[in-house]
Structure 1
Amino acid sequence: MLIILKKLTINNAPLLLALCMLGWAGNTIAGRLSSGEISPMVIVFLRWAIVATFLLLLKPSKIINSLPTLKRKIGWLFLMGGVGYTGFNSLFYVAAHQTTAINLGIIQGVMPAMILAGSVIFFREKINLIQIIGVIMTFLGVLILVSKANIKVLLLLSLNYGDLVMFLSCFLYAGFTLGLRNKPPIDPLVMMFFFSIAALFSAVGCLFVEYYYQLVKWPSDLSDYLIILYIAFIPSLFSQLLFIRGVELIGAGKAGLFINLMPIFSALLGIIILKEAIEIFHFASLAIVLFGIYLFMIIGKTS
């Protein structure tokens, strides 16, 4: 029974991707709980240092045995880890200090469309009108959430430097998602080790920049260390593995669509953990995003 359940779970892309987005949403809550006590690049550095160390201890022989096979892919591995992990996270943190949360949410909501466009352009993936409507619906759900269903908020938006940085960060992660198509046939944990090593080396440079501007803040108490451990094991390791598996099962274009669940899960976790007020627009945005995914995955597929 457990074996059957495991097989059903490991091959259930929507479930895996929904759990992935829940883990990433928890990353947002963890960042808010730290309330600036740990500087952004320290978080990036520590999260990947912990992941790399854990995987090295977990799979030492497999990592060593995979080196001959991965020799030709080493550039791809380090590009994916550096760009998709450290690049995205670092630029996201920079953008967060330069623009509003509303702008961040809207731009991040465009990421599934970036991934889908890349799938069509580079991999000749075919989509139909209903699937395009599904993508638009998920973006509409994000708009309702970040604007709190207030059209005036959207009309008063203005673009700035931080928005361009956020757009670039989303572009990098979209590229990472598309790049997963070329992943070698190796143990996902081994691949994650090399991704995390690349992310760690990239993070060292970002950490030096933060140190130069005297902005470095290391964890100082137990709660800080617990937050770092959560960020390392859930969003950085567990969720990334789920996302990689989801892309493997249904492709980058379809998997990317689930990214628009993340801000909604963040809002729901904020209600549960941070005791934030619950509003009707929370349920409306969730329903619209889920309907958009349903259109794309089920109705669009049969059209």
Structure 2
Amino acid sequence: MKHSLSYTYILLVLSMMLWGGTWVAGRVLAQSVHPMTAAVLRFGLASLILLFMCWRADGRLPRLKRDQILPVTFLGATGVFAYSHFFFTGLQSIPAGRAALIVACTPVCIAAISALFYGEKFGPLRVAGAILSLVGVSIVIADGDPIALLAGGVSRGDFMILGCVASWTAYTLGGRSVMKRLPPLTSVAWSSFTGTLMLLPFALFQGLAEDLVRLRPVDWGCVVFLGFLATALAYYWYYRAINVIGASRAGIFINMVPAFAVITGFLLLDEPIHLSLAVGGCMILSGVYLTNRS
């Protein structure tokens, strides 16, 4: 049992490292090709692998009932189509570590909206955590001077990454009802596939064929990392861990993602770690912890 738990925790940490690395790989890829091309390559590869994993698990491709098609399409539209657009567009202009820290406030947004629309408890401690996290985000965005936000100090890249927060919040809340009726792996596989279908016409219009010709070996490496390792494999490990230790305990590990992103960005892309980034990041993660305490 101890060996099984240790193995589970190792897989969880590896998953968080891979997810932290998506910000660096996405930053590299976003400098070479259009955001829609990058998104199609990532989720096209991930969809093939996820559907293959479903087939291996059940002996056939998973099927959707008629009333499940629209909810799964909503997940594809929010968690794949919209998120990918904001993710790769934002990473064209802002550092990977900075982007990851902004997205780290997503659990706070999910908790706040859950309290508003689903009646979840949102006591003083959670309110304090939400405020602390949002102040931390403002410090990261404004490079240590939140007053600058009032003077138009938010860049387009920052707005794009805030779009990631909005789209992933919608995806998570939408996934609550879907995953009551579908296994998580099936939900992720079909939402990834439907999202890829939505991305494809935009990618073709934006020059997918031309982008494919000029992809460098390092770009293809980023595609394989994003599609296979960080999406298909990391999701599989994460849901496997949920089956062993539960969603709440596994979810706590997600707080490690921005830390891995900042460290990886520093080591591989020479992105500086300013004092405002460190202070704001600590405030964000502390706020997330307070907001999601049992």
Deviation string for 1:67-99 (max 9, x for gaps)? 2x64532222222123211122124445667x8
1:203 maps to 2:203: no
Q: How does 1:1-303 map onto structure 2 within 5 Å? A: 1-6=2-7, 9=9, 16=12, 22-34=17-29, 36-60=31-55, 62=58, 64=60, 66-67=62-63, 70-94=65-89, 108=103, 111-151=106-146, 153-158=148-153, 168-182=163-177, 183-184=179-180, 186-211=182-207, 216-218=210-212, 220-240=215-235, 242=238, 249-250=247-248, 263-298=258-293, 301=294
Q: Is the 8 A contact 1:133 1:292 kept in 2?
A: yes
Aligned length: 285
Q: Is the 8 A contact 1:42 1:207 kept in 2?
A: yes
Q: Is the 8 A contact 2:98 2:140 kept in 1?
A: no
Ranges in structure 2 where 5+ consecutive residues have no aligned partner: none
Identity of aligned residues (%): 21
Query: Which amino acid in structure 1 is aligned with residue 262 of structure 2?
Result: A
Q: What TM-score, normalized by structure 1, do the two folds share?
A: 0.74
Q: Is the 8 A contact 1:109 1:139 kept in 2?
A: no
Ranges in structure 1 where 5+ consecutive residues have no aligned partner: none
* Whole-angstrom distance in 1 between the partners of 2:31 and 2:132: 34
Query: Which amino acid in structure 2 is aligned with residue 3 of structure 1?
Result: S
Change (3 A) 1:173 1:216: farther
183-192 or 234-243, larger mean C-alpha shift = 234-243
Change (3 A) 1:121 1:280: closer
Q: Is the 8 A contact 2:30 2:88 kept in 1?
A: no
Q: Is the 8 A contact 1:21 1:261 kept in 2?
A: yes
Change (3 A) 1:243 1:90: farther
142-151 or 189-198, larger mean C-alpha shift = 142-151
Query: Which amino acid in structure 2 is aligned with residue 205 of structure 1?
Result: P
Q: Is the 8 A contact 1:20 1:243 kept in 2?
A: no
Q: What TM-score, normalized by structure 2, do the two folds share?
A: 0.76
Query: Which amino acid in structure 2 is aligned with residue 200 of structure 1?
Result: T
Deviation at 1:165, TM superposition (A): 6.1
Change (3 A) 1:264 1:140: farther
Query: Which amino acid in structure 1 is aligned with residue 6 of structure 2?
Result: L
* Whole-angstrom distance in 1 between the partners of 2:45 and 2:187: 15
236-245 or 37-46, larger mean C-alpha shift = 236-245
* Whole-angstrom distance in 2 between the partners of 1:151 and 1:164: 15
Deviation at 1:143, TM superposition (A): 3.0
Change (3 A) 1:167 1:198: same
Query: Which amino acid in structure 1 is aligned with residue 139 of structure 2?
Result: I
* Whole-angstrom distance in 2 between the partners of 1:277 and 1:162: 18
